Structure 1
């Protein structure tokens, strides 16, 4: 009797365990991608569901072993392009009867890090393996080579949004935001470097992802006088169109579209793949910068003025979504001491604009206008230790009024009288409004 009862319990226990085992075995690797960045290599595994994993580093020879509990493989590891990466070969096999083991044979030692990512937007469950180079590339920043005799170049950091695992917005005809904005950023890089007194530096110069906070840090490390982040809009309505320029807002977005775009762009770290480990290494520095309220206000005002200059130039070649610089809390603009703007070159979800944005000639045209807007701003307000300042203020045909501008201040800046400004612009009073165009006699 007792023996029969024991057998029944054993049978029930086995039946209860079967669904769990079956469930675990249904998780499979559906796809695999490889990205190479300047200082690390990223391997991404697309999964049919969450999976437990374990990572080991082995020596003699160097290799990385990833075990995934109860997983199977349906991906083509042989199709990976391993050139310029530390991975010489990828192997996989069933391990312990029910687990999937993936082995990365290495040509050199690396520092590995792995973390899972939950499904988001079009992305499934993923397992990310980052292989960090043990010898970091020597990157001589522009800040290191600035001359000190009042003749330095003005530094422009150009940030192409998204990249790598994060494609950004997707348009008709498989147009990807990350490809469009990198092409525009590279064209703008050439335009800026062709201008006397300016030097451009690309934050991202390839198809790889950089976390939002690291983009801000990189701009500061370059010693940037202006940080320009290049993007392409996406919206729920395909009819939405036009280019925009954004500056930071710490209080709220200037429109519902601005709020929507900021929320979408700020999710990039979740799509591009940033692990959950909290990094507080520079918390004091960042906190101190934000607490310097007066400095932050001045930076935001400079950002608005630079943005207005860029917006005016872009309006000469494309339709504008809004006639003024908008504001929203974009993470990539949160620098307390570097004026920063985000340029949305158009709506990639609009079929007509998507076709234009994927055309090299149109990309170069937009890049030229953004570069001209940047140059126009600094010709009016050059850094004191720059070559442009040494050459003396350039008198433009007209200026765009930014927040904080006064008629007397503009008169002093361009060595003209207030009366002459009023006469040239048929002004009855000294009151000015942001965005107003003023002719300089």
Structure 2
């Protein structure tokens, strides 16, 4: 009896990853223009596969699986490389980078001889769209394994879908200069430069669209920044800042996500207090208006949004690690007011320490700003391509925005505000010129291709 209780206790104390399957390796073989990929596993699995375009990739999500080593394989046919990453919930995502679109078929093989469980993917050149696959751990017959030709993947990018809207919020502005370096570089200026470059990179990417909360040196209340994200039907929200500290030797980049349960560290709490005080400089005392803040909360405490924010933060932090020292090697959390209104993945990026002379120089230079923007873009792109693809493929088209012309508005200002080309704005509103009448309602296209 005691032995039974001991076994039960050991089972309960065993970490979840130890009970899950392990991906131990990937093998490949090319034959007559086709490629066979074999994923070696320690146990039967459930899996799902789908493909992406721009660039071409084949994605395999394997339930309750981990890998203890970096995957690698030589270029084989249309398969250029492989990479893997842990997903929320304990699943493993394996991504094969391809040189062309493929039509994959898949099946599972149970252990035989020295070989263990295997997931087999056969890739052939694709000429038509294909459907989605979700397969269970049931094995195919051992003799003559027959791929299920009727169960294949559908390219997410083949489905009509809207652009991913990414709202970029350059911190501070106007009467609020933010932090200042010893050589006079101001946070509000450098984060605007980084944000504009980030927006440029995003807008060059098919299927992605950037919107800036401010494109010049002006003060915007924190609540107004949040409302703008909601009005633009944002899919992601990034608030861009530069850090500062009394010790000028402190340096590095950091990424923060919202926490409803308290800050992850005293430093994170102090930073949130500093950033949340921005409205006081503009004459807006949010401390006396708790109901205002509560009214715009979109229940970011929901696990799905919090997990997505953390996933986005991790990818942005990983991107920044390629160009700068990381101040903290994990995502920090705190109660940032500017992140509290959106029910979409939202992060606050502290690009570098403006109080550090070396990093102040980087922040103040165009080259440094481009470098940091490129690193943030890499993280955003990774998140959008791998974490949002399925959700956006099935998401409804974003409704069109209506804007009422105000005194002093020009067509170019409206186009810049909503990141729409002048020609497209004229076209959807049947305008022959750029003259606007006060009170006229303009249609603002927000769906990809419109």
TM-score normalised over the length of structure 2: 0.50
Tell me what 2:309 maps to.
Answer: 303
User: What RMSD in Å do the two structures reach over aligned CA positions?
Assistant: 2.5
Q: How much does 1:384 deviate? A: 4.4
CA distance in 1, matches of 2:305, 2:365: 34
Tell me what 2:171 maps to.
Answer: 161
The match for 1:322 among 318, 322, 328 is 328
Secondary structure of the 2:341 match is coil
Tell me what 1:201 maps to.
Answer: 211
Count of aligned positions: 238
The match for 2:266 among 256, 260, 267 is 256
Is the 2:229–2:342 Cα contact (8 Å) retained in structure 1?
A: no
Secondary structure of the 2:239 match is strand
The match for 1:268 among 275, 278, 301 is 278
2:316 is equivalent to residue 313 of structure 1: no
Tell me what 2:366 maps to.
Answer: 360
Runs of 4+ in structure 1 over 4 Å off: 275-285, 387-390
Aligned CA distance change for structure 1 residues 388 and 186 (closer, same or farther; 3 Å): farther
CA distance in 1, matches of 2:263, 2:272: 8
Q: How much does 1:234 deviate? A: 1.1
Tell me what 1:179 maps to.
Answer: 189
Look at both structures and tell me which one has the larger radius of gyration over its CA atoms: 1
Q: Deviations over 1:295-345 (max 9, x none)?
A: x22111100000100110110011100111110111111135121000000
The match for 1:192 among 187, 191, 202 is 202
CA distance in 1, matches of 2:290, 2:269: 27
Query: Where does 1:52-71 land on structure 2 (aligned, <5 Å)?
Result: none
Q: How much does 1:203 deviate? A: 0.7
Secondary structure of the 2:352 match is strand
Q: Deviations over 1:56-110 (max 9, x none)?
A: xxxxxxxxxxxxxxxxxxxxxxxxxxxxxxxxxxxxxxxxxxxxxxxxxxxxxxx
Query: Where does 1:1-400 land on structure 2 (aligned, <5 Å)?
Result: 150-274=160-284, 286=296, 289-290=298-299, 293=301, 296-384=302-390, 386=392
Secondary structure of the 1:170 match is coil
CA distance in 2, matches of 1:367, 1:300: 24
CA distance in 2, matches of 1:381, 1:162: 30
Q: How much does 1:279 deviate? A: 7.1
Is the 1:262–1:329 Cα contact (8 Å) retained in structure 2?
A: yes
Aligned CA distance change for structure 1 residues 282 and 251 (closer, same or farther; 3 Å): closer
Aligned CA distance change for structure 1 residues 271 and 282 (closer, same or farther; 3 Å): closer
Aligned CA distance change for structure 1 residues 387 and 199 (closer, same or farther; 3 Å): farther
Is the 1:160–1:182 Cα contact (8 Å) retained in structure 2?
A: yes
Structure that is richer in helix per residue: 1
Q: Unaligned regions of 5+ residues in structure 1, if any?
A: 1-148, 391-441
Q: How much does 1:250 deviate? A: 1.2
Q: How much does 1:386 deviate? A: 3.8
CA distance in 1, matches of 2:214, 2:365: 21
TM-score normalised over the length of structure 1: 0.51
CA distance in 2, matches of 1:321, 1:197: 32
Is the 2:279–2:286 Cα contact (8 Å) retained in structure 1?
A: no
CA distance in 2, matches of 1:189, 1:233: 21
CA distance in 2, matches of 1:274, 1:268: 9
